[in-house]
Amino acid sequence: MAGARSASMGNSSVALTDLWSAFNNQAALSGLTAPAAGFYYENRFMLKELGYKAAALAYPYKIGTVAVNFAQFGFEAWKENKVGLSYSKAFGNFIAIGVQLDYCMMHRDERYGDINYLTFEVGILSNITTRLTLGAHAYNPLNTVISETTDERAPAVFRLGGAYEVTDKFIITAETEKDINDKVLLKSGIEYKLIPTIHLRVGITSDPSTFCFGIGVFYRKLTMDFSASYHQVLGFSPQTSVIYTF
């Protein structure tokens, strides 16, 4: 996942629409009305070795939206890179579907060896009403084997959630996430449009509880989001992202 907006809302992003849907739910990219490019950075637990970088470029056409993205995590001894190519399309005003092909590269200490593999993501977005949106997303749903010798598999992650626009200024999000190897996570967030150019956000994630907060600043074609999350054991993780809409 990526984007300081969703990070400040507990990463409950499966039903939100912005450029970072290229990572969070490709179906939502169909809601973009203009080309956009952006960069995201997260300094997890204030450790440079756990830095996470992501970039995305999306271009909406009449026949659908095409996007490319790149993400990198880790440091020299353990580095993960992912390149994605996605396509999304809305079918009427009520439903949209998105798919993405991912090429993943894992550079590890020579004792473990490097691993490269292909997988995919699929998402769906449904506008139940003008104010309620539901989304679902699956990453690597086939639980791809990445090492035949050890039967090591890439994680398979499934997410389901919604976003409800209470008023024109107030949005609530909530979702569940299940990695087939971990417990179910619960996530929730709130976004309040203080003024058209400033949005305030808070969120929470379960197991263990992680508290999140942030702000979005809009200036002409530029969107700047700043956020931070607090893990009760590991501490703070600041995030920032920038989007330019052409």
CATH number at residue 165: 2.40.160.60
Residue among 164, 95, 86, 100 at smallest CA distance from 132: 164
- Residue 186's pLDDT is 96
Provide φ and ψ at 208, rounded to 5°.
Answer: -80, 165
Provide φ and ψ at 147, rounded to 5°.
Answer: -145, 110
Q: Report the C-alpha gap between 81 and 230 in whole angstroms.
A: 25
Residue 41 pairs with which residues in a beta bridge? Answer: 53, 240
Query: Which of left, alpha, beta for 114 (phi over 0: left; psi -120 to 50: alpha)?
Result: beta
Per-residue model confidence as pLDDT tens digits over 171-225? 999 999 999 988 999 999 999 999 999 999 999 999 888 999 999 999 999 999 9
Give the burial class of 107: count Cβ atoms within 10 A of its Cβ; 0-12 exposed, 13-18 middle, 19 or more buried: middle
**Which whole number is the average pLDDT over 46-57?**
93
Domain coverage including residue 110: 4-245
Number of domains comprising the chain:
1
Q: What is the pTM of this model?
A: 0.92
The contacts of residue 220 (CB under 8 Å, 6+ apart) are none
